[in-house]
Structure 1
């Protein structure tokens, strides 16, 4: 299992704000390089859809803003790592200046346009790189509908992305903010249609009591293991090449770190788990308990590096 971090910041601030370093943070490429130097070769790079396509449906992406993402991703490609470009929209799209649910007629049209352009941009950037090194997430943490509603939309969008010639990984989210705990033997991950592949399911799992990622301390050393138990006990549809844990995090207290360590142990033992990216050091979230820097004295970083050694 690869392990790494979310290089957060590009998604910061209010949805329609657009001033770099003022309304949102632009992480330096050196931040990713610091994690790479520790052996943490996976990265997930969230972005804001409005900033990426400020002109709205049918218009080109903002080259400068797209360049922020690709500059963060480049060191991972050069290190033979793994990088995910992730639209941080929570089930909505905002490129026309308003927030629209992606399952509505208007929202789906905007979303298809957006994801087709994103697939084309990433395809052009990655060139002839190994398709297993680059991923595009369909959407961060959709939650407005059930999985049966999202399933046909994911199939439509996957087909549109593949039609551009994009052959990299596609990560598929599901409802309930992508919570790993929603799945079980009796409620397995739904299938999608991807005639090209590879396609993986992406789940999230914070270790605070309500799993929200607010940064509160865990109250149980088995919190993560319990939340993953149903997913890891269930079979994945053949359409998926594996599982990616796109977000996980906890504070540095002893119980939380033990919960993180136990979760990593469980994930590493399952060969279907391909990568895990910890929510970490976005400087605008410095007061959040999940904030972690590439400091090897931090017990959470020690847990990450110990996972790499297994």
Structure 2
């Protein structure tokens, strides 16, 4: 069952991506505390005090499972568990995001090198660890770069089946190919991913969207409000038509005033369609981002302009 929406100008899940654990992906496994690290309690505190209740935690498959079909790395799992436990203590949920773009050591999931069964094995093991914690959402894969939606569907269905076989009823976030774009989901992914089955009836379709001209999230300039809303409206309509639920796992704007101004209508649209939009996590935060144009990390104790725009949608008193 999905959580009951609370009477506030917010979604069920509202939060931010906290980066760090997937840093230095070219260095495997990498040195913990040097090449990569996990978010600190102070980061969780800042955002939960603001009213956020969800953190999308990016992790690397290779660090969690150094050998395909082998045991999980207990040290890495413990780091994830510590984060999940601290966030839960603050009333927040964690999206466990495998931030691998549909690859393992550079090889495509569904190929001879990385079979669908190997992907299912990863999620079976993770479900055995986290499958009794309803504060954990399973983010199957970040922005899978698979060669077709049909091939990706087979990988996803295998992972769903493996998770449910463990007895887990956790929400599963299903991403699409094509950089998981909301603007392209209906054309690229919906005919195929819309036929996925889940015995627990707890699938949520995850999309990402950025609002520069090419939707890449790499430029400080942004499109108009009408254009921005058009990028997600088709997905909203698809969710309604299929009685499905959606999650905006990544979105962000630069500090330019006209870009910050996009956040209110975007979040309003999702709130007004809360029957299908289950939540969102802004991209991104964490001290390692420095002065990154999208960051929500406070600037020497001062809220970023984007954070100020998000505040009214968090259901917390300032």
Q: TM-score range by the shorter chain?
A: 0.7 to 0.9
Alignment partner, residue 104 of structure 2: 93
Q: Is the 8 A contact 2:178 2:188 kept in 1?
A: no
Post-superposition shift, 1:203?
0.5
Q: Is the 8 A contact 1:155 1:192 kept in 2?
A: yes
Alignment partner, residue 220 of structure 2: 216
Among 190, 199, 203, which residue is 1:195 paired with? Answer: 199
Worse-matched range after superposition: 112-121 or 166-175: 112-121
Alignment partner, residue 79 of structure 2: 68
Q: CA 1:238–1:121 in 2, change beyond 3 Å: closer, same or farther?
A: farther
Q: How many pairs were matched up?
A: 298
Task: Quote the Cα distance in structure 2 between the aligned partners of 1:185 and 1:236.
Answer: 16
Among 171, 174, 177, which residue is 1:175 paired with? Answer: 177
Post-superposition shift, 1:286?
2.1
Q: CA 1:31–1:293 in 2, change beyond 3 Å: closer, same or farther?
A: same
Alignment partner, residue 25 of structure 2: 14
Q: Give the gaps of 5 or more residues in structure 1.
A: none
What is the DSSP-based 3-state SS (H/G/I as helix, E as strand, rest coil) of the residue aligned with 1:180? coil
Q: Any idea what the Cα deviations from partners look like across 1:156-191, whole Å, max 9, x if unmatched?
A: 110011111221111001111110001349974623
Q: Any idea what the Cα deviations from partners look like across 1:223-276, whole Å, max 9, x if unmatched?
A: 431210111122457684x11111111111111111122211111111211111
Q: CA 1:19–1:299 in 2, change beyond 3 Å: closer, same or farther?
A: same
What is the DSSP-based 3-state SS (H/G/I as helix, E as strand, rest coil) of the residue aligned with 2:209? strand
What is the DSSP-based 3-state SS (H/G/I as helix, E as strand, rest coil) of the residue aligned with 2:88? helix
1:233 aligns with 2:237: yes
Q: CA 1:191–1:223 in 2, change beyond 3 Å: closer, same or farther?
A: same
Among 37, 42, 45, which residue is 2:49 paired with? Answer: 37
Task: Quote the Cα distance in structure 1 between the aligned partners of 2:160 and 2:304.
Answer: 39
Post-superposition shift, 1:63?
1.9
Alignment partner, residue 308 of structure 1: 314
CA RMSD of aligned residues (A): 2.3
Alignment partner, residue 206 of structure 1: 210
Q: Is the 8 A contact 2:206 2:246 kept in 1?
A: yes
Post-superposition shift, 1:40?
0.5
Among 144, 149, 161, which residue is 2:163 paired with? Answer: 161
Q: Any idea what the Cα deviations from partners look like across 1:58-87, whole Å, max 9, x if unmatched?
A: 322122222222222223323443221010
Alignment partner, residue 255 of structure 1: 258
Task: Quote the Cα distance in structure 2 between the aligned partners of 1:239 and 1:29.
Answer: 37
Q: Give the gaps of 5 or more residues in structure 2.
A: 1-10
Q: CA 1:13–1:185 in 2, change beyond 3 Å: closer, same or farther?
A: closer
Q: Is the 8 A contact 2:43 2:286 kept in 1?
A: no
Alignment partner, residue 106 of structure 1: 113
1:270 aligns with 2:281: no
Q: Any idea what the Cα deviations from partners look like across 1:79-122, whole Å, max 9, x if unmatched?
A: 4432210101101123xxxx221011331232122121111121
Q: CA 1:106–1:215 in 2, change beyond 3 Å: closer, same or farther?
A: same
Task: Quote the Cα distance in structure 1 between the aligned partners of 2:293 and 2:206.
Answer: 23
Worse-matched range after superposition: 142-151 or 32-41: 142-151
